Amino acid sequence: MRVVILQANAVDESLALSDLAGVLLAHGHVVDLLLDDQEPDPAAALRLLRPDVVLVQAAYMGEPWTRRAVARVPDGVPSVLVGTSATFDEGLLSRIPADFVLMGELDHCAPVLLDALVGRVPLDAVPALRWLDAGTLRSNPWGEVPDLESLPLPDRSLYFGRYPFMGRFP
């Protein structure tokens, strides 16, 4: 699957997202990142990447941006909220019309969600997942912490490939 991650700005390189990119690449997925404040037309940039799923940064105090970003996700493409607000704000899906929320570290739950989106496993099997099911909020337990030694290296090209200036920050 082609996964596109939307991040609000170029304030920093997210180690969590670089870790996630490494994990998803190891599972055979393609991962791209769009920094909203660096794209002249973020919606057009997203459409050009032709994502199968879009992960949207949901940070505390960033809800207005998150709402706008989710609205730009092409019709028929699942949107998934990730980040601090996604982890700790149980009511986020009632305010932002995304399809799913992944809570906490994404290394163990994001690959399972991608498997669920293609029908390999049921949504009930995805650790740390929240979603609305006929208007009812469903929430799966967090699951087991993966063996950290088994995780692949972070993919820092997630940032530096499209945004080389990110590698020149002092």
SS3 of residue 15 by DSSP: helix
Judged by average pLDDT, the poorest of 7-11, 69-73, 110-114, 127-131 is 7-11
- Residue 152 CA to residue 141 CA, distance in Å, equals 24
Q: What is the pLDDT of residues 101-159, one digit of tens each?
A: 999 989 989 999 999 999 999 999 999 999 999 989 999 999 877 777 788 888 888 88
Mean pLDDT value across residues 13-42: 92
Give me the pLDDT at residue 15, please. 79
> Measured over all CA atoms, what is the biggest interatomic distance in the chain, rounded to whole angstroms?
49
pLDDT at 159: 80
Average pLDDT, the chain: 92
Query: What pTM, to 2 d.p., does this model score?
Result: 0.93
Burial 31-43 (b: 16+ CB within 10 A, else e): bbbbbbeeeeebe
